[in-house]
């Protein structure tokens, strides 16, 4: 294997940086679109239900106000009791400190993107703790705030992604 020149290394680093900047731009646009949707009451619940990834919207008290069909199906498949409904986040059940921190920091206006998360649904009631692959292919999440009129953050949103 040949040794790369400084110019080659710099070019590769610039390409990686460009890809990361584009990824951040796309994620930012996705979050803005969600926030816009949340401000529009009528069509919102229909659109969120059709989204293919699990979505949960929660209050500062960690009560779920809206969850889409994909979320309900995932919870049902992971629950010991299929009649049990996930209606809140149980912070004491969160094993990943990054998730615990993110669901708190979202109410300070922060957006957090997490990768390589294990057992992301274990923080909801009724979900039995299983191995890392039990929750299917959801190993990433974005957690972002939804402000009401002004700067008051009234809800947090978690979107689980493959």
| Residues 59-71 pLDDT 10s | 999 999 989 999 9
Q: Which helix (H) or strand (E) holds 141?
A: strand 140-147
Cα gap 101→143, rounded to integer Å? 10
Least confident piece of the model among 59-68, 74-83, 109-118, 153-162? 74-83
Check residue 83 and give its pLDDT: 66
CATH architecture of 45-161: 2-Layer Sandwich (3.30)
* pLDDT at 51 exceeding the cut of 80: yes
Which of 86, 92, 83 shows the shortest CA–CA distance to 68? 86
Q: What confidence tens digit (pLDDT) does each residue in 68-104 have?
A: 999 999 998 888 776 667 899 998 889 899 999 999 9
């Amino acid at each position: 294997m040949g040794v790369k020149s400084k110019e080659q290394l710099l070019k590769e680093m610039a390409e990686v940086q460009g890809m990361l900047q584009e990824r951040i731009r796309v994620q930012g646009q996705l979050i803005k679109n969600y926030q816009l949707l949340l401000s529009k009451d009528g069509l919102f619940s229909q659109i969120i239900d059709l989204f293919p990834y699990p979505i949960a919207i929660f209050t500062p008290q960690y009560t779920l106000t809206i969850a889409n069909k994909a979320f309900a199906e995932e919870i049902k498949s992971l629950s010991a009791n299929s009649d049990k409904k996930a209606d809140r986040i149980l912070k004491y059940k969160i094993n990943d400190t990054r998730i615990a921190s993110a669901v708190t920091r979202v109410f300070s206006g922060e957006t957090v993107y997490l990768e390589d998360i294990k057992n992301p649904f274990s923080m909801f009631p009724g979900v039995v703790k299983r191995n890392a692959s039990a929750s299917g292919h959801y190993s990433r999440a974005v957690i972002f705030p939804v402000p009401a009129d002004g700067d008051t953050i009234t809800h947090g949103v978690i979107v689980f992604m493959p």
